[in-house]
Amino acid sequence: MALSMTFWPNPVYRNHTAETRWYFHISVRQEGSKRVHVWRYRGEWYDMDNRLHDTKKDRLDMHLAANQHLSYPDQWVSSGLHPFRYRLILYGREEDGQEVRTEAILVCH
């Protein structure tokens, strides 16, 4: 798959369970030779026993050229669960219409 994503905790912000916010950075990369339009995302909140508790999905309008890398610092996710796992899935299409997707999981303690 040519589309990839990584995300990791933001070391600058402190995660406070009282605020129910966990801060992170996202990096999205198109590693192939075709342009990609990422048009949708889905976020999923799981407890540590892998039970799904909530989902959120929405549209995006992210365009990546061949071999392009985009960074999105200072993002955050909130949850009443503690600890929890947050799964983020991005859906897109290459310029020839081929569907692509990528996902990553962030463990929030």
Kindly list the structural domains of the chain, giving each domain's residue range(s) and its CATH number in brackets, ordered by start: 3-12+21-108 (2.60.40.10)
C-alpha span between 43 and 57 (Å, rounded): 6
User: What is the model's pLDDT at position 77?
Assistant: 87
What pLDDT was estimated at residue 9?
82
pLDDT of residue 32: 87
* pLDDT value for 102: 96
Q: What is the mean pLDDT of each run of 10 residues along the chain (109 residues)?
A: 84 67 90 94 96 97 95 86 92 95 91
Backbone angles phi, psi at 20, to 5 degrees: 55, 30
Q: What phi and psi values does residue 35 have, to the nearest 5 degrees?
A: -70, 150
Whole-number Å distance between alpha carbons of 46 and 54 = 7
What pLDDT does 23 receive?
A: 85
Q: How far is CA 24 from the centre of its chain?
A: 10
